[in-house]
Amino acid sequence: MPPPRTWEGRGPRDRPPAPSQEEDPEKWDWNCPETRRLFEDAFFGDEDYIRQGSEECQKFWTFFERLQRFQNLKTTRKEEKDSRHPKHSIPALADLPRAYDPRYRINLSVLGPDARRSRGLGRRLAPERVSEFRQALLHYLDFGQKQAFGRLAKLQRERMALPIAQYGDRILQTLKEHQVVVVAGDTGCGKSTQVPQYLLAAGFSHVACTQPRRIACISLAKRVGFESLSQYGSQVGYQIRFESTRSAATKIVFLTVGLLLRQIQREPRLPQYQVLIVDEVHERHLHNDFLLGILRRLLPQRPDLKVILMSATINISLFSSYFGSAPVVQVPGRLFPITVVYQPQEAEPTTSKSEKLDPRPFLRVLEAIDNKYPPEERGDLLVFLSGMAEISAVLEAAQTYASHTQRWAVLPLHSALSVADQDKVFDVAPPGVRKCILSTNIAETSVTIDGIRFVVDSGKVKEMSYDPQAKLQRLQEFWISQASAEQRKGRAGRTGPGVCFRLYAESDYDAFAPYPVPEIRRVALDALVLQMKGMSVGDPRTFPFIEPPPPTSLETAICYLRDQGALDSSEALTPIGSLLAQLPVDVVIGKMLILGSMFHLAEPVLTIAAALSVQSPFTRGAQSNPECVAARRPLESDQGDPFTLFNVFNTWVQVKSERSRNSRRWCRHRGIEEHRLYEMANLRRQFKELLEDHGLLARAQASKPGDSYSRLRQRRERQALYQLKRQHEQGQGRRRKVLRLQEDQDGCSSDEDRGGAASQGGGDNVDIQDVKFKLRHNLEQLQAAASSAQALTRDQMALLKLVLGRGLYPQLAIPDPFNSGRKDSDQIFHTKTKQGAVLHPTCIFANSPEVLHTQEQEARGSDGSRDDKDKMSSRHQLLAFVSLLETNKPYLVNCVRIPALQSLLLFSRSLDTNGDCCRLVADGWLELQLVDSESAVRLLAASLRLRAHWESALDRQLAHQARWRMEDKDDEETDPVNRKEVAALSRELLQFTASKVSYSLRRLTGLEIQNLYVGPQTITAAPSLPGLFGCSTPSPHPTKGGYAVTDFLTYSCLTSDADLYSDCLRTFWTCPHCDLHMPFTPLERIAHESTCPEAPQDGPPGAEEAAPEPLQKASALQRPYHCEACQKDFLFTPTEVLRHRRQHV
Amino acid sequence: MWVALGPVGDMPCLLTLQMECEAERRPLGVFECQLCALTAPYSYVGQQPPGAQSVALLEESYVMRDPFTPNKDRFLILGSRCSVCGRLVCVGPVGKPRAAGAAFPLSPWLGPHDCSFFYSKRFCLPCVRENIDAFPQEIQQDLEKREVPSKRPASQPGSRT
């Protein structure tokens, strides 16, 4: 189709006014807009095939001009010789027009203007012109028919030419006879696009096809829709986490494995599907392996369900035998021959292992290609490198080389690139120039680039591995498997014969593992185990996996879930666990969401949870750009990364709602990848729906603008957005561009701007992401949430940190005691299992570490014997982090700082004390020394009480949630836990975190940990405190010694010189609640406090249900005070007590 | 059935209609060319495709909605019966219309779908060849030209991994 052209060049200015129709034919001007309008009025009305003013109308006139030019050329020789023939005997042939005219070859006709009740227009148009116009219109329509039919025919021809085309019948036949069929075929055989269509053609109408990647779901649905001629219909759709094009008419749906598993969770027998295609099973993704296990169990219960496993031709027997020797249909791939060149790297003198990758072997290949292949022989180069650092090393060298030769356009490709930069690999290099794409293994399967003729395979891959002992993810470099090597090689032979340079020896290749390590053997299994528990598939240890995971990984996962409170001691789901199992999020994130909704902090927690679940939005390069760094600064929060992300998202939402179109520039200016923010918005919405679905959040009232005017305006806006989106989709989105060589040599610095400018300048100025965003989200709601976030009170902020802390617990790190003497970038931290972790460079604490340092002036009471690192302070802090990632160093990712003592008291799974409670050990690795025993006991008692309250509030919330799920969900009670109670709990928690006690904090050494406990005591009699502990008396702890007071607190089990008699030392003490005055041991004191009848219970009755009152800054003199008169609890200094009492007088 | 949208001036209507029409536009059957085996679902047979009042077809045609455009009123003629032998044939070839000739960037799709052409009526190519004399010279020349072009080069060398 010729591109639509405008005819501005022949615009009205150059033309005399419209010719009157009676003028002589010489002066007739088809180009005159007036003339054209007359015809358009007559022929292109609202009900006509072509409508006036449409794009089609423009196309027609372009066509018309060409036709005119062509016919002018032909008129001279267009004298028909009248050929006489005898009449034919066959009637159909008898009345053929003898005088040839091309119009007889058109099987269409168009109504003339007279037949169109056309308001006398016919009279104003000369009949010969009308007929000329109609002829042209006919040709145009005929042309359109031929073009469309041509596409249809071409499509069928291409489909027929696919290797799998000859196997379609066999696949269907085999499927008829068996429940499971394995279709094995290599890249390019067409299995992913064709098999669903064969099923469709065979009359199946409930087909699901799973894909490991979201992007594949979308592109396959598009392709299959196009090929099955329902591109604009809905029989082919996709369903991924944020988007669905599925409708009642959908017959084939492409969906992610994760999503299908969720569907199974809801409906274990999958009644909605007749056929299930599981694609890419050979990739051995965690979810795929699990799905196969589920299916193997399901199949006997669903004899009508058919399953097609699709795989590359590797390890087929594994899948076949797993399903009782299921038949295999093997399809040859379509690859051109590929020459393999082994170029092992000589052991070049390398000084150290951590040195940068040597780019020379790669440059030699570039050179070799330049020398051997003339530039006019096209074909690009794809280089597989292990990671981003390696890519940038080679990129630098290759660009230098390219700027000399002017024959290469070097492009990086990895997942951390912005989407626009990723898309550049699909652009075309100018003539004489080859693309050199430096890629991670993303180009092995996920991204397919056409036109690759050369492949360089480094033989290395960086993969996430998981250390179950340290609960640590490690990004390590490995040799690839033979299967991967073959896959990489195959990329050179998709469009023609190719060459694959392997930078290793053939003997290396032979030594490679045949297949990559399945994901189940190298990742944390927490989420999987939780999901398995949620689906009641029984003990994960005995689940019939196609290949079982390492037992230690399973045990670690179970243990972790128990630690997180998702499983109880018998490994059954706890109430919170069963809720977490329904949320398709990380356990940590799920906990935050649940806790957040309990404290009425759902909106901020939603944003933070979403922000912590997507890749960091900060682009890598921007860190070194001072402008970006400066522009980001106002968004940074010294509380921690989650809050910085929170600010970024909120401010972005504000930008979007205020100056809509500028958000893209706003992001670029700050080195922020906007795509990630869109993901956050999507995820946030999904989380919100989850909370609503599970009764944890009141469903938002459809906020209808009051007056009909604004409703109308809103509807108009949405319509306009829909139209923009449709126009964009019809424009097929991004078109391929030709790479400009020069620009690509000047490095990445201007990359962002160029990318943005190019995509904006490319004809349509629509930011389609923005349009989609506005269609999907209620911007006003988001903005309301964002602006309320900016008005978070100090108290809400502190609560939010508690929620995060409890969610993230036990992922804690302690700053190294010598950090204050170190450079900013050298701050180190220790976790329980990993010493010497560092901060990610984007982390706020890497840039302003001083907020973590305990202030010097706070230090007091440090007796001379103590080391500087045992500094006494009330401000010790810990970092709670989202993940620990090891690359060349262990990195803490997404940290938030939390007060050490209070957090440990509130969250620890194990708290051990000495006799006077001055020394506490949390979770067996952090030691706290408090100055005085009294405040220690007071805090300990308060924490016991708070934990109990918090637990019971949470339990009730969950119980309510469970009830809510059972009953029909009309129950409008949206506040399961009494608002007052939550308010009281919040208040107490805030008081608790604000309490100021001096203490020292340190990490125990290995030796100390070994000798931590006194061990089981033979002689100790249980302290005689009848009744003071309620019904349960503290029992001696069987291993640690001392007494187990609660499931987490063990009293007096720590070895210490001073401890010998401490548990029987009594001192006089006055209970602040009941004024009881008598000698107590510390234990007795705790016991009394936790049972004191006068102590504040579940919030004093009759307390106002106002939001937590803003607390004054807690001072060291404050003490809890319970006012009898108003039945309220306060944290008062003595003078404040007097002032308060005066009110009641 | 194919629903004629009628005068839909209002936008929101269009949006909902788009959805509804999908469900309602059931194909009547599958058209299959008896010569080249091209198949496609058709949704109308006749001379007056719905949604296109001002256009009429000069033969009883098998028609589907044009799958390559979102515009619901666009139709695509798949084929019709040969007026000599009555075979159901597709409208291929879509070779160059002589009136337009080289001025039009039509790719020549000769090959498997070389089945029929229209000259005031539909004729399948076997029938045309048999009765070539009955057609005007232009047609005869055109046909000769079409027979000549060699087979397209095979684009499938042996596959190897």
User: Could you tell me how many CB contacts below 8 A there are between chain A and chain B?
Assistant: 206
Q: Which of A278-292, A753-767, A942-956 has the highest mean pLDDT?
A: A278-292
Q: What is the pLDDT of residue A1019?
A: 52
Whether the per-residue pLDDT at A621 is higher than 80: the answer is no
pLDDT digits (tens, 9 = 90+) for A285-318: 999 999 999 999 999 999 999 999 999 888 899 9
Q: Same domain for A539 and A479?
A: no
Q: Same domain for A382 and A500?
A: yes
Residue A761 lies in a domain: no
Whole-angstrom distance, CA of residue A1058 vs CA of residue A459:
61
Assign A906 to helix, strand or coil: helix
Assign A123 to helix, strand or coil: helix
**pLDDT digit string (tens) for chain B, length 161 residues:** 343 333 333 333 333 334 434 434 567 888 999 988 888 989 999 998 887 778 899 999 999 989 888 887 889 999 999 999 999 999 987 543 333 333 333 333 334 457 898 999 999 999 988 988 888 888 888 878 776 544 444 333 333 33
Q: What is the pLDDT of residue A863?
A: 44
Q: Does B12 touch chain A (CB under 8 A)?
A: yes
Residue A578 lies in a domain: yes
Bridge-based pairing of strands A328-331 and A180-185 is parallel
Compute φ and ψ for A1046, nearest 5 degrees.
Answer: -130, -175
Question: Which residues on A lie below 8 Å from B105 (Cβ)?
Answer: 2
* DSSP β-bridge partners for residue A466: A473
Residue A1119 lies in a domain: no
Does A338 sit within 8 Å of B135, measured CB to CB? no
DSSP output for A619-644 = -SGGGG-HHHHHHHGGG--TTBHHHH
Q: Same domain for A565 and A578?
A: no
Whether the per-residue pLDDT at A843 is higher than 90: the answer is no
Which CA distances in Å does A552 have to A408, A473, A587, B55? 49, 15, 19, 73
Q: Same domain for A771 and A694?
A: yes
Give the list of residues 6+ apart from residue A308 with CB closer than 8 angstroms, or none: A171, A175, A180, A181, A182, A183, A195, A275, A276, A277, A278
Q: Which residue of A has its CA nearest to B133?
A: A85
What stretch of H or E contains A396? Answer: helix A388-405
State CA A552 to chain mean position distance: 28
Bridge-based pairing of strands A1043-1044 and A1035-1036 is antiparallel
Residue A92 lies in a domain: no
At residue A646 the predicted structure's pLDDT band, cuts being 50, 70 and 90, is very high
Q: What is the pLDDT of residue A965?
A: 65
What stretch of H or E contains A881? Answer: strand A877-886
* Count of Cβ atoms closer than 10 Å to residue A863 Cβ: 7
Residue A1033 lies in a domain: yes
More confident residue, A775 or B136: B136
Point out the residue among A83, A149, A337 whose CB comes nearest to the CB of B160: A337
Whole-angstrom distance, CA of residue B80 vs CA of residue B76:
12
Whether the per-residue pLDDT at A744 is higher than 60: the answer is no
Q: Same domain for A624 and A638?
A: yes
Give the list of residues 6+ apart from residue A1058 with CB closer than 8 angstroms, or none: A914, A915, A916
Which CA distances in Å does B29 have to A200, A475, A1029, B43? 14, 56, 81, 7
At residue A114 the predicted structure's pLDDT band, cuts being 50, 70 and 90, is low
- Residue A28: HSE in the Cβ half-sphere, 13 Å Cα cutoff: 15
Q: Which residue of A has its CA nearest to B82?
A: A92
Residue A118 lies in a domain: yes
Looking at the 3D structure of chain A, how many domains does it have?
Answer: 7
Residue of A1050, A1036, A1047, A1054 whose CA lies nearest to A563: A1047
Q: What is the CA radius of gyration of chain B?
A: 19
- Say if residues A500 and A341 touch (Cβ distance below 8 Å): yes
Whole-angstrom distance, CA of residue A257 vs CA of residue A259:
5
Does A335 sit within 8 Å of B119, measured CB to CB? no
- Tokens linked to A355: 């040195």
Whether the per-residue pLDDT at A752 is higher than 60: the answer is no
CA distance A173 to chain B (A): 20
CA distance B16 to chain A (A): 12
Does B97 sit within 8 Å of A248, measured CB to CB? no
Whether the per-residue pLDDT at A1003 is higher than 70: the answer is yes
Q: Which region, left, alpha or beta, applies to residue A379 given φ > 0 means left and ψ of -120 to 50 means alpha?
A: left
> Which residues in chain B (18-77) have CB-CB distances under 8 A to chain A?
19, 22-23, 25, 38-41, 52-59, 61, 64, 66-70, 73-74, 76-77
Domain, as residue range, for A1022: 908-931+999-1056
Residue A674 lies in a domain: yes
Q: Same domain for A404 and A381?
A: yes
> Which residues in chain B (140-159) have CB-CB distances under 8 A to chain A?
155-159
What stretch of H or E contains A980? Answer: helix A979-994
Q: What is the CA radius of gyration of chain A?
A: 37
Q: What is the pLDDT of residue A1079?
A: 78
Q: Same domain for A297 and A438?
A: no
Q: What is the pLDDT of residue A757?
A: 38
Whole-angstrom distance, CA of residue A1135 vs CA of residue B60:
101
Interface test with A, best of B17, B47, B63, B68 (most A CBs within 10 A): B68
- Say if residues A989 and A950 touch (Cβ distance below 8 Å): yes
Whole-angstrom distance, CA of residue A25 vs CA of residue A21:
9
Three-state SS for A278-323 is ECCHHHCCHHHHHHHHHHHHHHHHCCCCEEEEEECCCCHHHHHHHC
Whole-angstrom distance, CA of residue A163 vs CA of residue A949:
67
Does B38 sit within 8 Å of A141, measured CB to CB? no
Average pLDDT over residues A77-104: 70
pLDDT digits (tens, 9 = 90+) for A459-517: 999 887 777 666 677 778 889 999 899 989 989 988 889 999 999 999 999 999 988 88
Domain ranges of chain B: 22-147
User: At which of A296, A331, A366 does a domain end?
Assistant: A331
Does A150 sit within 8 Å of B76, measured CB to CB? no
Query: CA geometry: angle at B11 spanning B9 and B17, to 5°?
Result: 90
Three-state SS for A12-38 is HHHCCCCCCCCCCHHHCCCCCHHHHHH
At residue A759 the predicted structure's pLDDT band, cuts being 50, 70 and 90, is very low
Question: Which residues on B lie below 8 Å from A249 (Cβ)?
Answer: 22-23
Q: What is the pLDDT of residue A675?
A: 84
Residue A364 lies in a domain: yes
Residue A355: exposure state from Cβ atoms within 10 A (0-12, 13-18, ≥19): exposed
Whole-angstrom distance, CA of residue A694 vs CA of residue A703:
21
Whether the per-residue pLDDT at A56 is higher than 70: the answer is yes
Interface test with B, best of A47, A77, A137 (most B CBs within 10 A): A47
- Tokens linked to A567: 């499983």
Average pLDDT over residues A397-408: 91
Does B70 sit within 8 Å of A107, measured CB to CB? no
More confident residue, B13 or A345: A345
pLDDT digits (tens, 9 = 90+) for A195-206: 999 999 898 999
CATH number, domain containing residue A281:
3.40.50.300
pLDDT digits (tens, 9 = 90+) for A869-920: 567 888 899 999 988 888 778 899 899 999 999 999 999 988 888 877 888 9
Whole-angstrom distance, CA of residue A591 vs CA of residue A605:
10
- Residue A716: HSE in the Cβ half-sphere, 13 Å Cα cutoff: 6
Bridge-based pairing of strands A812-815 and A877-886 is antiparallel
Whether the per-residue pLDDT at A221 is higher than 60: the answer is yes
Q: Same domain for A496 and A543?
A: no
Q: What is the pLDDT of residue A320?
A: 96
Residue B16: exposure state from Cβ atoms within 10 A (0-12, 13-18, ≥19): exposed
Does A248 sit within 8 Å of B23, measured CB to CB? yes
Assign A990 to helix, strand or coil: helix
Q: What is the pLDDT of residue A674?
A: 87
pLDDT digits (tens, 9 = 90+) for A1056-1067: 655 455 556 677
- Tokens linked to A721: 């957005």
- Tokens linked to A701: 């009232």
CA distance A79 to chain B (A): 13
Whether the per-residue pLDDT at A185 is higher than 80: the answer is yes
Chain mean pLDDT for chain A: 80
A353: amino acid identity, one letter:
K
Q: Same domain for A531 and A512?
A: no
Q: Same domain for A397 and A280?
A: no
